[in-house]
Structure 1
Amino acid sequence: MDGGFRNDHSSSHSTTTTMVARPDDEEMRNMIQGPGDVEWRYEMRRECQEILPNLWLGPFVVSKSLDTLRQLKITHIVCIRDVKEAFSVRPRFQEHFTYMVLDVEDNEEQNLIRVFPAAKQFIDEALASDGRVLVHCNGGISLSPAFVVMFTMQHFSISWEDALHYVQNRRYCISPNGGFLTQIKEYEAIYKASQAVAAYPPAAARSVARRKREDEDGDGDDREDDRKRALVSTEAELARDSDAMET
């Protein structure tokens, strides 16, 4: 399937855009390298890791532990699953957390770019309200990491490669499939274009606005000329009337 989403206990807030001051180049390089004091162990793939402040990435098993979720103070959960996994990979504690459920196939033909904006809005709104978000799929290896890489890329305005390394250096086991990697690369151009459009109105719009101002100015000049011509015409008629009366 092409990928659909469902909100459970979702809020009705309007779209939120989180503006982030980008660190300088040296600080960003250090952040991409990740914490140097973490020794990755195999069993850590069954845990979740904090990728950005208050944004966690992990496998489904974490979302089944209410104690763990409470310990992490999670408030929002993005549950990403293949539709075939719906019977097991599903929200477990809807009375405690706000969920977004995304039915997305873990194959190279799946369109992530179409589904991602809704997930980004959900995460942005959660973080803006001081929430703590867990993003998970079944194994936390391919599906959910692809979304978090795209989110990180746009969050910091960095390249897809830097975003991938940033996330990998915090959750070493991630490995988005080839189709997802291709779309992650494509998304870099998409988000940069959207930022450029937001910063500067399109040339066509500026041109229309300029022509509108010129037309308004021109209309004003035309109205003044019409007024002057009408005044001259009226004076001429009065003069003719005066001559007629004298004769």
Structure 2
Amino acid sequence: MMPPRPDEEEMRAVIQGPGDVEWRYEMRRECQEILPGLLLGPFVVSKSLETLLQLKVTHIVCIRDVKEAFSVRPRFEGQFTYMVLDVEDNEEQNLIRVFPAAKQFIDTALASGGRVLVHCNGGISLSPAFVVMFTMQYYQISWEDALHLVQNRRYCISPNGGFLTQIKEYEAIYRANLAVASYPTTGTRSVSRRKREDEDDDEDYREDDRKRPLVSNEPERTHDPDAMET
């Protein structure tokens, strides 16, 4: 379940992030908390059991280029819940098709009180694209605000051009889904129900007509025994 969306002023503060953080180059080898319970970083973080336990990580989304599968892989499957996504780290990769499964995994983990680390190899392009899309929908904000929010916590991110295009496209997709979900359906169902009931009534009426005997309006004729048969 998503938390209540902050008001405009609060949302501005969330996007700006902590102002007292001085970014250092070596911090790219660490992970950062993007929103409550969701961390973003490089693969090297996922190899340190001590770090993962210290961060209280419970779930890990391992996003890797298929060529990296031999090295970028789960290391502690008995201690954390993993999701592994094999994709290609290039501008042609369709992230929008892969994202819903990752979102569901993260949603379920956060709803249960878990803490999720999302990582790729370097934590620069591939995994940040997923986290930007998740953040956009989580706070129901624009793609620009979501990108700035993530960048203001992990300064080194830089999704490639193809990923950035898909991030922009995803804003329209999630907003359309929100509009459909919020569309009132009660009235539509009531109208449909009434229409079906009216049709049933009409059908009953037609059935009664078929069963009703034909009645002649002509006066009943009496038989005249003296009349000639023709």
**TM-score, with structure 1 as normaliser:** 0.80
Runs of 4+ off more than 4 Å: 224-231
Q: Per-residue CA shift, 1:176-223, capped at 9, x if unaligned?
A: 000000000000011111111112168xx93x8634522412432663
Change (3 A) 1:230 1:181: same
Q: Secondary structure at the match of 2:95?
A: coil
**Residue equivalent to 1:58:** 41
Q: Which amino acid aligns with 1:120?
A: K
The one-letter code sitting in structure 2 at the alignment partner of 1:219 is D
1:84 aligns with 2:86: no
Cα distance change of structure 1 residues 229 and 108 upon mapping to structure 2, 3 Å threshold: closer
Task: Provide the secondary structure at the position in 2 that maps to 1:191.
Answer: helix
Aligned to 2:96, the other structure's residue is in SS state coil
Provide the rounded CA distance (Å) in 2 between the counterparts of 1:136 and 1:216.
56
The residue type equivalent to 2:68 in the other structure is E
Secondary structure of the 1:114 match is helix
Whether 1:132 and 2:115 are equivalent positions in the alignment is yes
The amino acid across from 2:198 in the alignment is D
Between the aligned partners of 2:196 and 2:58, the Cα distance in structure 1 is 55
Instruction: Give matches, 1:13-28, under 5 Å.
Output: 18-28=1-11
Over residues 102-155 of structure 1, what are the superposed CA-to-partner deviations in whole Å (9 max), with x where a residue is unaligned? 111111000000000010011011111111100000100000000000000000
Q: What secondary structure, in the 3-state scheme, does the structure 2 residue paired with 1:100 have?
A: strand
Q: CA RMSD in A?
A: 2.7
Q: In the TM superposition, what is the alpha-carbon distance from 1:229 to its structure 2 partner?
A: 10
Number of residue pairs matched?
Answer: 219
Alignment CA distance shift 1:226-1:107 (3 Å): closer
Task: Kindly provide the amino acid, as one letter, of the partner of residue 169 in structure 2.
Answer: E
Distance in 2 between residues matched to 1:92 and 1:211, nearest whole Å: 55
SS of alignment partner, residue 36 of structure 1: coil
Q: Percent same amino acid among aligned pairs?
A: 76
| 1:53-92 deviation digits (Å, cap 9, x = unpaired) | 1110000010011000000010100001111111111111
Decide whether aligned partners of structure 1 residues 230 and 154 sit closer, same or farther in structure 2, where only a CA change above 3 A counts.
same
Which deviates further from its counterpart, 43-52 or 221-230? 221-230
Structure 1: which amino acid aligns with 2:194? R
* Aligned twin of 1:184: 167
Give the alignment partner of residue 48 of structure 1, picking from 12, 26, 31.
31
Could you say which residue in structure 2 is the equivalent of 1:217?
A: 198
- CA distance 1:227–1:90, shift in 2 (3 Å): same
Q: TM-score, normalised by structure 2?
A: 0.86
Structure 2 Cα separation of the partners of residues 136 and 97 of structure 1 = 14
Q: Which runs of 5+ in 2 are unaligned?
A: 223-230
Aligned position for 1:166: 149
Which of these two proteins has the greater Rg computed from alpha carbons? 2
Q: 1:225 to 1:172 in 2, by over 3 A?
A: same
> Which residue is equivalent to 1:74?
57
